Amino acid sequence: MPAATTTAPQRPLGVWSPGVRRLTVGLVLTITLVAFQSLAVATVMPIISDDLDGLALYGWVFSAFFLASLLGIVMAGQAADRRGLAPPFAVGLAVFAAGLLAAGLAPSMPVLVAARCAQGFGAGAIPAVGYAAIGRGYSPALRPRMFAVLSTAWVIPGLAGPAVATLIEGAASWRAVFAALLPLVALAAAMELPALRALDRAHRDAHPDRPTADGGGAVDTAAAGGAAAGGAAAGGDRTGRAVALVAGVGAVLLAVGGTVAGPVAVVLGAGGAVVAVGAFVGLVPVGTLRLRPGVPATVGVRGVLTFAFFSSDAYLSLAVVEGRGGSTLQGGLALTAAAVTWTAGAWTQERRLGADGPRRLDTIGFALLLAGICGVLGVALGLPLWLIVPAWAVGGFGMGLAYAPLSVTVLAAARPGEEGTASASLQLSDTLGVALGTGVGGALVALADAQGRSVATGVALVFAASALAATLGVLAARRLPAQVPRDRG
């Protein structure tokens, strides 16, 4: 292997330079894998729900995935700082593959939900490790471009994923959609693991004074967690708090989803909320819930952003197919439009971040996302079905404009060796937003169904909740830094 490949401190001039080319390709491939599964599952979920008679658990297929991702994110971030990037990445891919296989064989909706838990736990390791790799392998000037490149990795899945999923489901069954992703897992492992091992070696050479329990030379999260996360729990405490967070949020979603009723639901929901909030506060920078200006607000705003976008995105196909009588391909076109414009927004922020800063870009991004959500809400309430495609394209552009600046801001504030813990805090808020958004959405759909109301009414309630979150996001974005902090590496 060329010497440049193993020397991160040389800071190559571009993301496709020989020193980081394999790392870039591997990261793009893993994001492509995540994108394919996300868009494919969202496209065929109405078919799966009908086949397994599981509308009441529709939201759990998404929220279970992301709740399990919370554990994967925290554990992978901790492992990345203690053991290096390659081991948690390898474990994550293996568990993800097992979840895909189990989902394809699922005989019932509860089994599918359990399989999605396995997928989520494995997939949680991918962004946490990927973000840490970006922090260690690329210069501060290249990070916005690398995040834009990763957003571009959604283009092919965005263009082809929904259509391919529809074709596979029509030619075979929805079960084959899960199985078709397994070769991509093997390819991702073959491409990314060697690059991560090289980056681990370079990091150990650059920081020989940072021992770990295994003598590897990476920073110990127990020592670095407080600095990176601004007072968050460290070491084993982070894992325990992550388990408490998942349990608490799961209890809240059970309480609001109609699975339990009466006083039991009240006790379960209230108790779960107390446990979840306490655990979340211990896992993120101090002041995150108050949106304290700076990094805490950045982490908090990320959760609001993902709640607003994905609570709508997960139910677009259901709104089209079951709510308005359209086809899965029509629903997939809306998902495709958002994936493509998300990429366009990401490249726009790459050019404008230095001049405009995170605060301005995220304010504009939230406003565009709100406009897109209002458009899909109008379609759910009776506007022409074709309007859902341009409406969600606007929402996707807003998401692309707002998402990456938050990542760049947090990585710029992290010290060398603490990128794993810092990125884990961001990704935890990110994933919690998705889990809550899809979970609350599923609860609203189930509530409407239990009351004998139409699916269109249920998804309209979901989109209304998304619009409220986006409105709060416009206000919360004012707490972000005006400019990206100076890099501490």
pLDDT higher than threshold 50 for residue 155: yes
Of residues 207 and 15, which shows the higher confidence score?
15
Q: Which of 169-183, 239-253, 405-419, 438-452 comes out lowest in average pLDDT?
A: 405-419
pLDDT higher than threshold 50 for residue 13: yes
Residue 414 three-state SS:
coil
Domain contains 486: no
pLDDT for the residue 415: 64
Q: What is the domain range of residue 413?
A: 16-479
pLDDT for the residue 304: 96
Domain contains 2: no
pLDDT higher than threshold 70 for residue 487: no
pLDDT higher than threshold 70 for residue 198: yes
pLDDT for the residue 398: 96
Q: Report DSSP state, residue 138.
A: S
Do residues 468 and 373 lie in contact, with contact meaning Cβ atoms separated by under 8 Å? no
pLDDT confidence of 214, banded at 50, 70, 90?
very low
pLDDT higher than threshold 70 for residue 216: no
pLDDT for the residue 208: 67
If one counts the domains in the chain, the total is: 1
Element (H, E) at 292: none
pLDDT for the residue 230: 41
The three state secondary structure string of 32-45 is: HHHHHHHHHHHHHH
341 to 66, 274, 408, 466: CA distances (angstroms): 23, 38, 20, 19
Q: Which residue has the tokens 């810092």?
A: 422
Q: Which of 196-210, 322-336, 346-360 comes out lowest in average pLDDT?
A: 196-210
pLDDT for the residue 393: 96
For residues 160-179, b (16+ Cβ closer than 10 Å) or e, as one string?
Answer: bbbbbbbebbeeeebbebbb
Instruction: Give 264-291 pLDDT, tens digit per residue.
Output: 888 888 999 999 999 999 888 888 899 9
pLDDT for the residue 118: 92
CATH (domain of 370): 1.20.1250.20
Domain contains 218: yes
pLDDT confidence of 421, banded at 50, 70, 90?
low
Element (H, E) at 287: none
The whole-angstrom separation of Cα 182 and Cα 203 is: 31
Q: What does the mean pLDDT of the chain come to?
A: 83
Q: Which of 132-141, 328-337, 388-397 comes out lowest in average pLDDT?
A: 132-141
What's the average model confidence in pLDDT over 88-102? 92
Burial of 114 (0-12, 13-18, 19+ CB in 10 A): middle
What's the average model confidence in pLDDT over 140-158? 78
pLDDT higher than threshold 90 for residue 301: yes
The whole-angstrom separation of Cα 26 and Cα 193 is: 8
Instruction: Give 128-137 pLDDT, tens digit per residue.
Output: 788 788 878 8
Instruction: Give 157-190 pLDDT, tens digit per residue.
Output: 777 788 888 899 888 899 999 998 898 888 888 8
Q: For a pLDDT cut of 90, what percent of the chain falls above it? A: 34
Domain contains 54: yes
Domain contains 3: no
pLDDT for the residue 157: 78
The whole-angstrom separation of Cα 181 and Cα 37 is: 7
pLDDT for the residue 236: 57
Domain contains 454: yes
Rg of the chain over all Cα atoms, to the nearest angstrom: 21
pLDDT for the residue 420: 62
pLDDT higher than threshold 80 for residue 231: no
pLDDT higher than threshold 90 for residue 461: yes
Give this prediction's pTM.
Answer: 0.76
pLDDT higher than threshold 60 for residue 113: yes
pLDDT higher than threshold 80 for residue 54: yes
Domain contains 149: yes
The whole-angstrom separation of Cα 38 and Cα 32 is: 10
Do residues 12 and 4 lie in contact, with contact meaning Cβ atoms separated by under 8 Å? yes
